[in-house]
Amino acid sequence: MEVTRTNFKDSLSTVYSAIEEADFLAIDGEFSGISDGPNVSALTNGLDTPEERYMKLKKHSMDFLLFQFGLCTFTYDQAESKYVIKTFNFYIFPKPFNRTSPDTKFICQSSSIDFLASQGFDFNKVFRHGIPYLNQEEEVQLREQYEERRSQSNGSGNPSYISPNSNKGPGSIPEEHREYIGRVDNVDLLSYRFPKGLHVETLETEKKERYIQISKVDDEERKRRERQKQEREQEELNDAVGFSRVIHAISKSGKLVVGHNMLLDVMHTIHQFYCVLPEYLLYCFLRLLDTKLMATTQPFKELINITSLAELQKQLKESPFKSPKVVTAEGFPSYDTAQEQLHEAGYDAFITGLCFISMANYLGTAFYTVCMKRYNATLTSRVFARLFLMRIIDIPYLNISGPDLQPKRDHVLYVTFPKEWKTSDLYQLFSAFGNIQVSWIDDTSAFVSLSQTDQVQIAMNTSRYAESYRIQTYAEYVQGRQQVRESQGHSTQSWDEDGWVKPHYTSPSTVGAGPTGYSYGHNRYTPFTL
């Protein structure tokens, strides 16, 4: 079902009941771009910590716009052993709500736009009919604006003059009005009372010219008009909050939310529809499960070769997996997996849900029970709240319910050298120590991974008297960086004002608190267990 600004209000009850009756939800987002600045994974070539990756995405990817949000609700019909699905394709656009509302700017990345264009993506639908939204802070501000206006009213309407939040910040008052507002500041305009029995209202002509209408009314009529006005204001407020209401409903439902490689989707969802992203994403208002992480973890890791969504879905049709029986709810347009409609958010959400069911079924009843029932939040977040990290070579996920994995990087050296050096110079330098892998950091430094950890000390000894280059162990490098950050005043403060994040405890001293059985180089990731 396609939802735009045009039919959003009428569709909302359908959306709410679909969420309410669902056993789980699948989501997907389409963005105006993926990464601003240098390739997020390029610089350290897969040696980011989860925290660093999160910070990079926060810094370089949040200025893009999530402009299509796909939601597919899955409800199990026990009697017929089938899933009934409802798919929604929401088009999103931050249309300025009124004169004073924020004029959002967002970045477009040509390659992303070109890719979506080649898939037939309808940009006109986004920009002409996209549903607006507000984050919580903007919603509160707007509500306060309405309340302030109401309290300034003398009970018989409200004067056209609205006190601005700030009467001097540059830009907050249109230039041409500033002098006027400066002058009236001292005049107690607002305490001026219109005589009782007069109804005063600011109205707008079709040409957006504002005028004041003063009419003589009796007390009852006045109250009726007031009520009408308040209802209208409440509706305006709801319209402005717009798509964020759907996210609030998902969050309140406590339902499991499934996505494929969903870190960016989750970050954008929080950023656009909730609030400024916290410094660390350690706890989230959604119960999340990432099918890409699931597919790259035991036992699926051995059974599945390619984990891109389209390929995963194909492989999960074949033995030992089974496609679930799925029917589209009446009144909803159905998708045919044979006619791929990839990169339409609703379709992607749909097949993400299919992938999840196939993998969940493979794991058996116990898993199914966990997934389908509402759960104690602590347990749930332990099981689910791990998001797949693309292209980090030895940490598969960002753990948003506990400390991140601390990979063993004993075999990694941090090397600094003159800027004339090339990869070949590094190969030559380390030629005595077996195979190496070079990960460039910048012009004068790189990580060099040795294949044998016992060579590390020898390499360190060799470099002791070197003048043109310098070698540190990975541990020394991390410690040095930590000191630099602390001297710059970066504390490890947690961001938990509204209960979103838990205290930050990924300091080096908590190594070992993470899952056990995890070490680099042997591919022994923690299996995806309960």
Would you say 528 and 362 are in contact if contact means Cβ atoms under 8 Å apart? no
**Rounded-to-integer distance, Cα 425 and Cα 371, Å:** 52
CA distances (Å), origin 311, targets 200, 334, 342, 355? 64, 21, 11, 10
Q: Provide the token pair at 23.
A: 């056993």
Choose which of 81, 98, 170, 336 interacts with a copy of itself (CB under 8 A).
170
Distances (CA, A) of 120 to 27, 68, 113, 116: 20, 13, 11, 7
Q: Residue 29 CB, nearest distance to a copy of itself (Å)?
A: 17
Least separation in angstroms between CB 176 and a copy of itself: 10
Please state the separation of Cα 46 from the chain's center in Å. 21
Neighbours of 79 (CB within 10 A): 6
Distance of closest approach, residue 127 Cβ to a copy of itself, in angstroms: 5
**Binding flag, residue 308, a copy of itself (CB under 8 A):** no
Name which position in 228, 234, 305, 423 contacts a copy of itself (CB under 8 A). Answer: 423
Burial label for 339, CB within 10 Å (0-12, 13-18, 19+), is exposed
For a copy of itself (CB under 8 A), the number of binding residues is 60
Q: Is 113 in the site for a copy of itself (CB under 8 A)?
A: yes
Angle at 236 between CA 86 and CA 499, to 5 degrees: 65
Check residue 518 for interaction with a copy of itself (CB under 8 A). Answer: no
Write phi, then psi, for 169 (nearest 5 degrees).
-55, 135
Asked if 93 interacts with a copy of itself (CB under 8 A), we say: yes
Site for a copy of itself in 125-164 (CB under 8 A): 126-128
> Under the criterion CB under 8 A, does residue 204 sit at the interface with a copy of itself?
no
For residues 501 and 392, give the distance between their C-alpha atoms in angstroms, rounded to a whole number.
23
Which residue from 193, 422, 470, 481 is in contact with a copy of itself, where contact means CB under 8 A? 422
What x/- string results for residues 391 through 410 when contact with a copy of itself is judged by CB under 8 A? x-------------------
Decide: is 33 part of the binding site for a copy of itself (CB under 8 A): yes
Would you count residue 114 as binding a copy of itself (CB under 8 A)? Answer: yes
| Closer of 166 and 483 to a copy of itself (Cβ) | 166
In the complex with a copy of itself, the residue whose CB is nearer, 155 or 182, is 182
User: Which tokens sit at 289?
Assistant: 């499960």
Q: Which of 186, 319, 378, 487 binds a copy of itself (CB under 8 A)?
A: 186
Distance CA 397, CA 527 (A): 12
Tell me if 260 sits within 8 A of 307, measured CB to CB: no
Q: Does 103 bind a copy of itself (CB under 8 A)?
A: yes
> Does the footprint of a copy of itself cover residue 380 (CB under 8 A)?
no
**For residue 420, how far is the Cα from the chain centroid?**
40
Choose, by CB under 8 A, the member of 105, 208, 210, 216 that binds a copy of itself: 105
What tokens appear for 202 in the block? 């600011």
Q: Which residues bind a copy of itself (CB under 8 A)?
A: 32-33, 36, 38-39, 41-43, 45-46, 65, 93-96, 103-111, 113-114, 116-118, 122-124, 126-128, 167-171, 175, 178-179, 181-183, 185-186, 391, 422-424, 426-427, 437-438, 440-443
